[in-house]
Structure 1
Amino acid sequence: MKTCIDRLLLWLHVAGACVVAALTLVIVYDVAGRLLLNRPFAGTAELVGVGLVLLTFLQAPYVIRQRKLLRVTFLLDLLPAGARSGLNALAYALGAAFFAAMAAVSWEPAVAGWSTGEFFGNDAFRIAAWPLRFGTLALWIVAALVCLLYVVDGLCGRLGDKDDQLPE
């Protein structure tokens, strides 16, 4: 089961890397068009704004799964393994609650964006809002589920190692 989840999260991470490559190409095209042809790409700001949001939440579940978020462990290192595992479980429970709350409050704006035809941008370049809204909502749910898997690992005592290896 965890192998399937890890593959899905890796796929999302790779998709985020593809978004970075696409954003780079859009920016290079915009700059080259501005400097060489005096015709910048009209949708650069909109695409980059949407792409950065999408990039962040495409890669977040994978980073959480790899346990590579910024951590300050000086207090955890002083505690016995059981207490470390419990505090890690608490931290992941708070993370799951945060992502679940983000998903819950995002549902209504996503549905409203779908039903009203909301868009980002101006008349020169428009991006429909609903794919980004539903996409981030789905990614927040995935991130909450990844955190919940670590809550279970922490409650079972598998998050107490000082060397911070992934639980098997």
Structure 2
Amino acid sequence: MKFISTSIADVKIIEPTVFGGERGFFMETFRSETFNKHCGTRLFVQENHSMSTKGILRGLHYQTQNTQGKLVRVVRGEVFDVAVDMRQDSKTFGNWVGVTLSDVNKRQLWVPEGFAHGFYVTSDIAELVYKCTDVYNPNAEVSLAWNDAELAIKWPISQGDEPIMSAKDKLAVSFLQAPKLD
């Protein structure tokens, strides 16, 4: 596996070595020893699988308790995946990283604890699988506005299009109003 640095040192792109041929392909997607060496020691306690259709935007979500690190990969389709640093003592507080993840490039994104996370589906259908370092706590979840001017995230949304979002995400708070993490 290849670990690629991003503009936020704690967020990593992970590229597996893919062995392929006429019969298909094989790749190792996770090995704790290698992951811990490059991203810090973590124990994953939950794994999620979601399916979404084109134009859906999920997020930006984070938890103020039971903060979750997420190792995200796409097993079908393509998304633009985003991590926003919500750690108020961080040098990169309020900065974001956006990466295209797909079943073709087979990249993964490591989103550490203390980050808001979301994605926008750019293919007809996309399925994501992601490991989490803590359990989901709906009582501590925050939705951060995807289009917050302070963050100025460059989503790959065509001008004039509106993403499809949940009612919860439509009521998301601005970056200035959002609770910050230590």
TM-score tier, shorter chain, comes to under 0.3
The structure whose residues are more often strand, as a share, is: 2
The structure whose residues are more often helix, as a share, is: 1
Calculate the TM-score normalised by the size of structure 1: 0.23
